[in-house]
């Protein structure tokens, strides 16, 4: 039995003041995701799952094929980076999720968890 591929995900969120409209409860955030393949073989990112918790407490789940219209192949020691966005109903929210990837040598799927991260406008204390 071979072990799971070593894949890590880093996320860097950013508030998009120019696209937001606080008076209309529209807070836009971008987030840049970097997927690091520390495995000896190729992996392919096949699907995504996001759980977005709004300021209001509403939870939205997003599932789909790939990321930003791609199902990237990531070689050993390589990274794949993309930027996407989320629109919240208030100044603070949280996202977490998982990617479904495939080890291309064995064709076995595996999940890569994405640790919860905070989306917040500047100067938010909570």
pLDDT digit string, tens, across residues 88-112: 999 999 999 999 999 999 999 999 9
| Structural contact between residues 47 and 14, judged by C-beta atoms closer than 8 angstroms | no
Residues in the chain: 126
The secondary structure of the chain in percent helix, strand, coil, rounded to multiples of 5, reads 5, 65, 35
Provide the whole-model pTM: 0.92
Sheet with strand 7-15: strands edge to edge: 7-15, 27-37, 79-88
Instruction: Show the 3-state SS of 4-45.
Output: CCCEEEEEEEEECHHHCEHHHCEEEEEEEEEEEECCCCCEEE
Q: Which residues in the chain come in under a pLDDT of 70?
A: 1-3, 124-126
The SS3 assignment for 18 reads helix
Phi, psi of 67 (to 5 degrees): -140, 140
User: Looking up tokens 């996001």, which residue turns up?
Assistant: 50
């Amino acid at each position: 039995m071979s072990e799971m591929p070593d894949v890590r995900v880093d996320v860097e969120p950013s508030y998009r003041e120019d696209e937001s409209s606080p008076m209309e409860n529209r807070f836009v955030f971008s987030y840049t995701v970097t997927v690091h393949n520390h495995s000896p073989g190729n992996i392919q990112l096949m699907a995504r799952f996001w759980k977005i918790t709004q300021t209001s407490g509403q939870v939205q789940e997003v599932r789909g094929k790939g990321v930003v219209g791609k199902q990237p192949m990531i070689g050993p020691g390589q990274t794949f980076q993309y930027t996407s966005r989320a629109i919240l109903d208030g100044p603070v929210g949280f996202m977490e999720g998982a990617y479904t990837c495939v080890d291309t040598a064995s064709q076995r799927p595996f999940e890569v968890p994405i640790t919860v991260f905070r989306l917040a406008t500047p100067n938010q204390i909570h």
